[in-house]
Amino acid sequence: MTYDLEGAGVLAKVTAISDDGYSVYFDFRNGNTGYFDDVDQELSVGDVLLITHDKENNRYDFEEAPSSAWPEALWVGIVRLKLQDISVIESGGRLRKVPTVTVPCYENGYTVLAGDAQGVTKVLSERPIKYFDLPEVDDSVIDRFLLSSEDTEDLGFEDFGGLSTVVARARELIEIPLNEGKALLEIGARPIKGVLFTGGPGTGKTLLARIIAAQSKAIFFEISGPEVFSKWYGQSEELIRMLFEAAAKEEKAIIFFDEIDSVAAQRGDESHEASKRVVAQLLTLMDGFKPDTNVVVIAATNRPQDLDAALRRPGRFDWEIEFPYPDECDRKDILVKTARRLKTKGPLPYDIIAAHSDGWSAAELTQIWSEAALLAVSDNRRQIYEEDFVGGFERVSRYREQARASRPNGGDR
């Protein structure tokens, strides 16, 4: 092979030698790779050489260079595990294995400069350095997850239409442990710590959790999966730990973990390291509840199949309530109940709309009212009339059809 090595020559490192010793492979300093055949010099893998080209005789000369001439690429990471022989360092979202060195001295959690072969070369900080400036996680942060009583004050079961068995079961699983925890303990029953709400989008999971919190007069912390991973990225575990700690201090508290699937996806290889740590943290915290801790954790998801199986083991989210799409009776009830807070005029055709909205979610049904109100106001009415209600229904039907047509699987939920 011929190379155009201009000027003073280039630095190269031997990366491999063919079995017969005929071909020698190099990495060049500029990142290129190449090989030379028939090198009449004894070389070993790892040798650093200065290669020059004698153009007149068309010969390449290999001159040994000190290994320090080829400094190893160093990277920054956080020490996660330090064993006698190897250390595991998290860098760029993955774990890297390096040899353990005695100098410099380092511990788990340190931010260090390291190289694959050299191991840790320098301690940059005795704390893990975060990617960006993160807000401090302190008590004032915890307050932000607290749903104030003003938010839920006038929320009651009369706001929740249909699904009466779901409501009854949810109340039983949440209110009884919160209000009668001692009695359950006396009986020796396994305490209910986690209840999983599953069901399609807009089926009322979040709404029911809020109503139960308001009605049971429990302190209610609400946290959402996507938020944990965007706004609180890098501090999610700390945040969850503090939320659990704050909840445990209350006389009775509910922690509502909305859209938990985004956090608690299967802890397979491909799922992100951070997600695994958050799930592990959640499991540790739930396992650590004392029998007399009056906290129920509700988690909601519309992708239960994606949940980590470990979350469903006994003593964790082992109680599941499925929120179905409402049937005709439920749909009428949802429409009637959501109309309670609106000004309407005359008898409205609830039965007809309920009969023609098969497969609709509660959220879609309530959307009818928003559209009906727009129609009423644009026609100078201050109440919703039958024509507005029907017009609202037709509009939402159209949007649903359009959304359905644009879904790749033809619209099956």
Ligand X SMILES: Nc1ncnc2c1ncn2[C@@H]1O[C@H](COP(=O)(O)OP(=O)(O)OP(=O)(O)O)[C@@H](O)[C@H]1O
Segment lying near ligand X (by CB under 6 A), choices 42-50, 196-204, 212-220, 385-393:
196-204
140, with CB counted inside 10 A (0-12, 13-18, 19+), is: exposed
Contacts with ligand X in 332-351 (CB under 6 A)? 334, 337-338
Closest to ligand X by CB, 162 vs 181, is 162
Segment lying near ligand X (by CB under 6 A), choices 138-146, 157-165, 170-178, 348-356:
157-165
Q: Does 203 participate in binding Mg ion (rule CB under 5 A)?
A: no
The minimum distance between CB 203 and Mg ion, in angstroms, equals 9
Alpha carbon distance 176, 174 (integer Å): 6
Segment lying near Mg ion (by CB under 5 A), choices 13-21, 199-207, 356-364, 404-412:
199-207
Among 111, 206, 301, 366, binds Mg ion (CB under 5 A): 206
The amino acid at 304:
P
Q: Does 366 participate in binding Mg ion (rule CB under 5 A)?
A: no
User: Of these partners, Mg ion, ligand X, none, which one is at the site of residue 14 (CB under 5 to 8 Å by kind)?
Assistant: none
Site string for ligand X, 294-333 (x = CB under 6 A): ------x-x-------------------------------
Q: Does 146 participate in binding ligand X (rule CB under 6 A)?
A: no
If DSSP states are collapsed to H, E and C, what string results for 304-340? HHHECHHHHCCCCCCEEEEECCCCHHHHHHHHHHHHC
Residue in 412, 345, 411 with CA at minimum distance from that of residue 372: 345
Binding residue count for Mg ion, defined by CB under 5 A = 1
Among 21, 156, 201, 324, binds ligand X (CB under 6 A): 201
Which residues are CB-neighbours of 27 under 8 A, at least 6 positions away? 12, 13, 15, 33
Binding interface with Mg ion (CB under 5 A): 206
